[in-house]
Amino acid sequence: MNLRMPAGLHDRAKRMAASRNVSLTKYVLNAVEQETKREQRARLAAGFARLAKDPDHASVDYAFDAQAEVVLGNDS
């Protein structure tokens, strides 16, 4: 994969990677992974916030039934 970025950002990223004793590739991979996790947490938090606003639609009973079916092998 080729990644294009402004020269100034590239220079800052190289310096940060060097200060952490990792390659630029590793530094960028870590940054993408952290941002991806942050975005997932934000989406999950937003979903929970929507559920909290409407407790009548916040039932998770279906999840317990599905889990019992998988774990216990129940068809009911």
Tens digit of pLDDT at every position of the chain (76 positions): 899 999 999 999 999 999 999 999 999 999 999 999 989 888 888 877 777 777 666 666 667 777 777 787 765 5
Closest CA to 58 of 69, 70, 50, 66: 50
Give the tokens for residue 22: 């990792």
Give the pTM: 0.61
pLDDT of residue 55: 66
Q: How far apart are CA 33 and CA 41, in angstroms?
A: 12
Residue 60: C-alpha distances to residues 10, 11, 20, 52 (Å): 46, 49, 44, 13
pLDDT of residue 6: 97
Give the tokens for residue 68: 């019992």
Three-state secondary structure call for residue 6: coil
pLDDT of residue 10: 97
